[in-house]
Amino acid sequence: MKVRKAVIPAAGLGTRVLPATKSMPKEMLTIVDKPAIQYIVEEAVNSGITDILIITNRGKGIIEDHFDRSPELEERLLASGKQDVYEQVVSISKLANIYFVRQKETKGLGHAVNCARSFVGNEPFAVLYGDDVIIGEDPACGQLIRAYEKYGKAVVGIKAVSEEAISKYSSLKVEHLDGNEYSCTDMVEKPKTPAEVLSLFSILGRCVLTPDIFDILDKTAPGAGGEIQLTDAMRTLARTVGMTGVDFTGKRYDMGDKLGILEATVEIALANPVLGESFRAYLKELSKTL
Ligand code: UTP
């Protein structure tokens, strides 16, 4: 079955980015001239997704506003002859069919994804973590969808992380299949000891899931941090029917981390067709003083 639906969980508290995220959702933090979540929605759309459910919570209404029309602003832009900006603003509301649901309590990523059950129905669906922006020629979500179509199993986007970092991520048991594709038969969230580390491959930011995940999530007890972990539910899938891991191409920026936000801003600004050249000149001058 074709993957045409995506879920973007964006209901976390963003405690690693405080005080910026006290009232501003981290998903709305700007990278150059667009909020992070717009890059993620664009990646989904460029991967063939037509319907997107964004999981929000209290205080995140600004995300809904961003994907809505804005009649007063549009009128003003037209009246002042700013046709190109007008078109940019209107196009945001036409990117996809975008739906919203609230996660009423912040009980973890697994709990957030479980809020998507009725939206998803009986179809495979992509999950794009709301604080992971991935930039690349070939959209990461599309790479995972192709692997789903090839192997018919749920897929996780994977990347190797350092030995020091693995305890902050998940660790996967993988075997090489073909190119950048691996079979994944087990996983552990935030391994506490070196013995728990299955490999340095970790799930980063994207997956394609099958609807059987919802029954598994219903039975998943709170795990690391007292939250319902999506990884714990995916482990059941990996151990029973198996999953596919795709070491996707593209650069991932962690918008849930202050350094990640700075890296995204600098690198995406350097690649910007309008600002890139003058920003590069500015950075070169600045670097002489460092
Ligand atoms: P994170 O664990 O990175 O988000 O979840 P967080 O809880 O906001 O992070 P801290 O507080 O800085 O440690 C990854 C993604 O899952 C969403 C987040 O919004 C983020 O996009 N999420 C997390 C939810 O939607 N609901 C939750 O209960 C937890």
Q: Could you report the per-residue pLDDT of 116-135, keeping only the tens digit for each?
A: 999 999 999 999 999 999 99
**For a pocket test of ligand 1, which of 13, 100, 102 has the largest count of ligand atoms closer than 8 A to its C-beta?**
13
Buried b (16+ CB within 10 A) or exposed e, 93-106: eebbebebbebeee
Give the helix/strand (H/E) hosting 203.
Answer: strand 201-209
Distance between CA atoms of 208 and 234, rounded to whole angstroms? Answer: 11
Predicted model pTM: 0.95
Is 107 close to ligand 1, i.e. is its CB under 6 Å away? yes
Q: Tens digit of pLDDT for each residue in 196-228? A: 999 999 999 999 999 999 999 999 999 888 999
Given the structure tokens 């602003």, which residue do they identify?
73
What's the CA gap between 288 and 134, in Å, rounded?
30
CATH topology of domain 5-287: Spore Coat Polysaccharide Biosynthesis Protein SpsA; Chain A (3.90.550)
Best of 109, 206, 234 to mutate for ligand 1, by most ligand atoms within 8 A of CB? 109
131 and 12 Cβ atoms separated by less than 8 Å: yes
- Considering only CA atoms, which residue is closest to atom 9 of ligand 1? 14
Atom 25 (ligand 1): residue with closest C-alpha?
11
pLDDT at 209: 98
**pLDDT tens-place string over residues 19-44:** 999 999 999 999 999 999 999 999 99
The region of weakest confidence among 64-68, 87-91, 123-127, 221-225 is: 221-225
Spatial distance between the Cα atoms of 115 and 55, rounded to a whole number of angstroms? 8
Cα 49 to Cα 70, 95, 153, 154: the distances in Å are 24, 10, 18, 16
Share of the chain above pLDDT 70, in %: 100
